[in-house]
Amino acid sequence: MRIIYIRNMISLSCIYVVRHEFEKFGFTIEMIKLGLVQIREPLDDNVRKELSVQLRKYDLEITEEWNPDVEQIKRVVIEYFQKNENISGKINWADLLKGSIGKKCTYSYISHLFSNMEGVTLERYIIKQKIIAVKRLLLNQQLKLKEITKKMGYKNISHLSYQFKKVTGQTPSEFKKSKFDTGIRE
């Protein structure tokens, strides 16, 4: 039996995807849970590469290094932006994240751990997830950019637009126009 660690496996839908992809390659799954899958058969390098390509389509990655605290941090950040309809004011990420991993530690420790494991700062990761939430709101078409700005806790439209362009390479208007011109909905 072999345990394979999967980075970014943070929800039940990720478990479904990982199970499906491993079974497509003929593996017998002994156990699967957030962050890892245990298979009966050996995983050779060629199959590992092919499987990695398939998993990357879902922003999942086979990894040798895995940390349950980092995966929990990701879950908390993603769930925060999925569940909160209105973000008013500054979010106290330090308290939110420290409480989520169930250990007595500082925000500095959490941030350092995250950066070392993910190769990106925690702040950039949070901004990326916030922009993903903005994308969902833009594609919803029910809110104007000014309303989205307020809903997502930005001070003004230009701040939202700056962060959006920095993360996506497009302004919110360009993004929205390109998705609806091509008929693509994310």
Specify whether 11 is located in the same domain as 97.
no
Give the N- to C-terminal CA distance of the chain in Å, as an integer.
37
pLDDT of residue 180: 65
Let me know how long the chain is.
186
Specify whether 49 is located in the same domain as 88.
no
In degrees rounded to 5, what are phi and psi of residue 63?
-140, 155
Specify whether 160 is located in the same domain as 140.
yes
List the pLDDT tens digit at each of the 186 positions of the chain. Answer: 788 989 888 778 889 999 999 999 999 999 998 888 999 999 899 999 999 999 999 989 898 777 888 888 988 898 888 887 667 667 888 888 888 877 778 888 889 988 988 888 999 999 999 998 899 888 887 888 999 998 888 889 999 999 999 999 999 989 888 876 655 444
Number of domains into which the chain is organized:
2
- Enter the pTM of the model: 0.73
- Give the CATH number of the domain where residue 40 resides: 3.30.70.100
pLDDT of residue 185: 47
Alpha-carbon gap, residue 76 to 67, rounded angstroms: 15
Specify whether 95 is located in the same domain as 146.
yes
Residues with Cβ within 8 Å of residue 83, at least 6 apart in sequence: none
Alpha-carbon gap, residue 27 to 124, rounded angstroms: 36
Tracing tokens 């799954």 back to the chain, one arrives at 29
Domain end point (choices 42, 63, 84) = 63
- Give the CATH number of the domain where residue 95 resides: 1.10.10.60
Specify whether 17 is located in the same domain as 40.
yes
pLDDT of residue 89: 66
pLDDT of residue 98: 83
**DSSP structure class, residue 183:** T
Specify whether 53 is located in the same domain as 125.
no
pLDDT of residue 39: 94
Specify whether 142 is located in the same domain as 54.
no
Q: Tell me the sheet residues that pair with 61.
A: 7
Domain with 96 in it = 68-182
Specify whether 112 is located in the same domain as 75.
yes
